[in-house]
């Protein structure tokens, strides 16, 4: 029996409305570091989290955001996490996935979320 698990994370919060994205990142990071599989489904405003070249005025000086969410999620992707964003949510928010998302962010729909829920050993909703 394997000690590896599949962790699914549903992220609905945007990058600057709460710290949900950071919690999602930290949970995924810890799971990857322990050899687990991690899949994200970014839904609603969660689709804004991996958008590249975001800025939050004043945060760099205050130290609130040492890295933007997209940088953190790119590290997760580089280390094997799957990051899916709801295609309808992306379109509704005016995101151009080819231009606005870094390599490795994929588009999906609710059946993809259902697959994650069905396949994951644990699912966390933030």
Digit-by-digit pLDDT tens for the chain (126 residues) are 468 999 999 999 998 888 899 999 999 999 999 999 999 999 999 999 999 988 776 665 666 666 778 889 999 999 999 999 999 999 999 999 999 999 999 999 999 999 999 999 999 999
Please tell me the distance from the alpha carbon of residue 100 to that of residue 105, in angstroms, as a whole number: 10
CATH code given to domain 6-125: 3.40.1260.10
79, 83, 13, 80: which is closest to 44 by C-alpha? 13
Q: CA angle, corner 75, sides to 72 and 78, nearest 5?
A: 155
């Amino acid at each position: 029996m394997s000690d590896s698990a599949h962790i699914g994370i549903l992220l609905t919060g945007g990058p600057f409305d709460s710290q949900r994205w950071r919690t999602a990142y930290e949970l995924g990071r810890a799971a990857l570091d322990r050899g687990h599989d991690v899949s994200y489904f970014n839904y609603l405003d969660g689709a804004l989290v991996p958008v590249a070249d975001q800025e939050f005025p004043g945060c760099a000086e205050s130290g609130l955001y040492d890295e933007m969410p997209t940088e953190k999620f790119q590290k997760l992707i580089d280390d094997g996490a799957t990051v899916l964003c709801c295609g309808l949510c992306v379109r509704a928010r005016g995101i151009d996935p080819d231009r606005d998302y870094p390599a490795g962010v994929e588009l999906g729909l609710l059946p993809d979320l259902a697959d994650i829920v069905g396949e994951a050993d644990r699912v966390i909703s933030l």
